[in-house]
A and B are shown apart, each in its own frame.
Chain A
Amino acid sequence: GQNIDQPTEMTATEGAIVQINCTYQTSGFNGLFWYQQHAGEAPTFLSYNVLDGLEEKGRFSSFLSRSKGYSYLLLKELQMKDSASYLCACETGANNLFFGTGTRLTVIP
């Protein structure tokens, strides 16, 4: 079977750093996506990892360990607008994405 685990909710303070973890077991794995979704809106692309290691893009970084079935999204210098759900998704083949249930992040002043 396929499974993605990520925390349901997290809270962090404005200006701080937060790490959102994702572990996965899937049949077939090409890469891992992170999407951001504000309440009631469409998911928007944040990052994609296919090789092990850290990918940095501005305030957001994403890490992948294929051997451990593990990824994390790191958000630095948190802003209030970063309050959203963060979706971990595994690309399982032919661009089929299997999504986790998402982590709802609340940034507090």
Chain B
Amino acid sequence: DADVTQTPRNRITKTGKRIMLECSQTKGHDRMYWYRQDPGLGLRLIYYSFDVKDINKGEISDGYSVSRQAQAKFSLSLESAIPNQTALYFCATSDPRGEKETQYFGPGTRLLVL
């Protein structure tokens, strides 16, 4: 079983709709992240959470919100989707203990906003 899972894997929605992308992990990591990836722009950080009570904005948080429901779950919401939010979304986790803090990525959610 995958350590970091994302649902749904693909989603098509219409402008103005509210949608939620979910991320779950079995790695036992405290830290979780949401990124979006666009062609030619690389991965950009949307939000991150270092524990259940900690939520931080990333580089491009406008138009998004998050919820850390438990150590293992971190969801990303688009309150009113717009076409320029069409992108590939990745969740990632990391563990601050140890020599290096590698981020482990989920398989991604491909979102199309019409």
Chain A residues within 8 Å of B, Cβ to Cβ: 4, 31, 33, 40-45, 48, 50, 87, 89, 91, 94-97, 99-102
Residues of B within 8 A of A50 (CB): 100
Range of interface residues on chain B? 20 to 34
Complex Cα distance, B50 from A96, in Å, reads 11
**Does B43 have its Cβ within 8 Å of any Cβ on chain A?**
yes
Given contacts A95-B94, A97-B103, contact A43 B43 (CB under 8 A): yes
Q: Which 5 A-B pairs have the closest CB atoms?
A: A42-B105, A101-B42, A99-B43, A99-B42, A48-B100
Query: Is the Cβ of B94 less than 8 Å from the Cβ of A43?
Result: no
5 intermolecular pairs with C-beta atoms under 8 Å apart? A42-B106, A89-B43, A95-B103, A96-B48, A97-B43
Report the bound CA distance from A97 to B102 in whole Å: 10
